Amino acid sequence: MRVLSSRKLRPFVFTFAVGLSALLVFLPRRSVTEENGSTERTVIFPKELNHGGEKCASVSDVRLRLDPIPAMGTLALNRPDLLLSLLKTIDYPVTHFVIAHNLDSNEDTNRETESLLRSLETDTADVLGHENIMNLTVVRHGGNLGFSAGVNRIISTAVKSPYWLIANNDVAFYSGALREIAFQMVNPMSRYSEVCAWAMIGEPIGPFSAFVLTQRAVQTVGIWDENFWPIYAEDCDYEARLIRANCPMIFESNTSRVARHVGSAAWKTTQQSSSLASLVGKGNNNFDYIEKKWGSNVCSARTSVEPYMDINSGYSRPFDHENHSLAYWSVDMSRRTQRGGPEKCVFCNSIDFHPN
C-alpha cells in the first residue's frame, strides 16, 4: 500500500461585479470568503431551483461551509481506460481517494492496470490534469477478493470518514455532480444529510453503481458481506439490512442524472479475455447464498419507490437466528473455494471490523 502525501488545495475564488448582484434572485451563485484563515463558501439558491428534473430543498439563502468530499473510492479490475475516465471527471476536491485493485484472470490486463496505478502514484495531478485528489491510496489485493471486499477496503482505509462516495470504475461524473453531492451531504435542510445510503447510478431498483454510504449505516448494520463473491446480490443484502434496521435510503429517480455509466463493463466488455463472465454465473450470481441468509431471494423483493424493498420478504434476522445482529456474517470458505475464489478476505467475519 502506498499513500501519497497531501497536496494543498488551490482555493476556489469567484468574484462578482457589484452590478450583477441583482441576478442572484434568478440564478444560483457561489462565492468564497476568508474567515479566520478558513475557506467558507456561501451558497445561494433560488427557492425552487429545478436541478436535473428534481427540486432542491426549498432554500432561499443557505450559508454553509463546503468541505471536500471526505472519502471516495473505486475498484480496479480491468478496463484501465474507464478507470482513468472516472478519475478525470473528479472536478471537486476529495480528501482521500482509495483504489482497491482486484486482479483479473488476464495477465496482460493486470499489467495495463498496474501501469496506470503506478503512474497515478507517481504523479496524480500530471496524469489526471487536476489537483482535486488530495491523498491517493492504492491497495493491491494480490487476487480478486470481490466487490464487497473492495467496498470494505475503502471503508476501512478511511474509517473515520463521515461518509464514503463509492463508484464503479465504469462511471464518469457530469460536471458539477460532485459539488452537488458534497452540498447535499452537509446541508441540514436536505433529507440527504440524514440518510444511511444514497444510491444514484445504475438500475432503477438498485442504483448502486455509485452510492454514498454514511457512518450511520456502518454503525447500524456493519460492513459488506464478503460471502458475495465475486459480484452481484451484495447490494440486495445490504439494502435488506438497512430496511430491517429502519435506516433511511434515497434512490435517485433519474439514475443517469449525475453520471454516465457503461454498465457491468468489468465483465460484459471483456468476456473473451477475462474469466469473470463465467464466474458471475456460478451460484446464480450468489442467489444460493442470499436465499440461505434471508430465507428468500430478497433481490426480487426490490421496488423503485420507498422503502425500496418489501420488508416482509424473508427472515427478520440473518439465517433466521434471533441472536444474530443485522451486521452478522462469516465467510463460508468452503463455498468460496468451490466456486474458484481465494482463501483470503479483507474481513472474513463481521466481528473482525472495528469502526472505532
Note the pLDDT tens digit of each residue in 272-323.
Answer: 666 666 677 554 679 999 999 999 999 999 988 889 999 899 999 999 999 9
Rounded to whole angstroms, the Cα distance separating 160 from 218 reads 11
Residue 148 has pLDDT above 60, yes or no: yes
In this prediction, residue 152 has a pLDDT band, given cuts at 50, 70 and 90, of very high
Residue 27 lies in a domain: no
Q: Domain range spanning residue 267?
A: 69-339
Rounding to the nearest 10 degrees, give the CA dihedral for residues 241, 311, 249, 136: 30
Residue 160 lies in a domain: yes
Residue 50 lies in a domain: no
46 within 8 A of 57, measured Cβ to Cβ: no
Which pLDDT does position 243 carry in this prediction? Answer: 96
Residue 43 lies in a domain: no
Distances in whole angstroms, Cα of residue 82 to Cα of each of 93, 140, 251, 261, 338: 20, 18, 24, 10, 31
Q: Please name which of 267, 287, 286 lies closest in space to residue 278, comparing C-alpha atoms.
A: 267
CATH of the domain at 155: 3.90.550.10
Residue 37 lies in a domain: no
Q: How many domains are there within the chain?
A: 1
Which pLDDT does position 16 carry in this prediction? Answer: 35
Residue 352 lies in a domain: no
pTM of the complete model: 0.81
In this prediction, residue 50 has a pLDDT band, given cuts at 50, 70 and 90, of very low
Cell 446541508 belongs to which residue?
Answer: 187
Residue 1 lies in a domain: no
In this prediction, residue 43 has a pLDDT band, given cuts at 50, 70 and 90, of very low
Hey, how many other C-beta atoms are within 10 angstroms of the C-beta on 176?
13
Note the pLDDT tens digit of each residue in 176-223.
Answer: 999 999 999 999 999 999 999 999 998 889 899 999 999 999 999 999
Which pLDDT does position 31 carry in this prediction? Answer: 31
Residue 33 lies in a domain: no
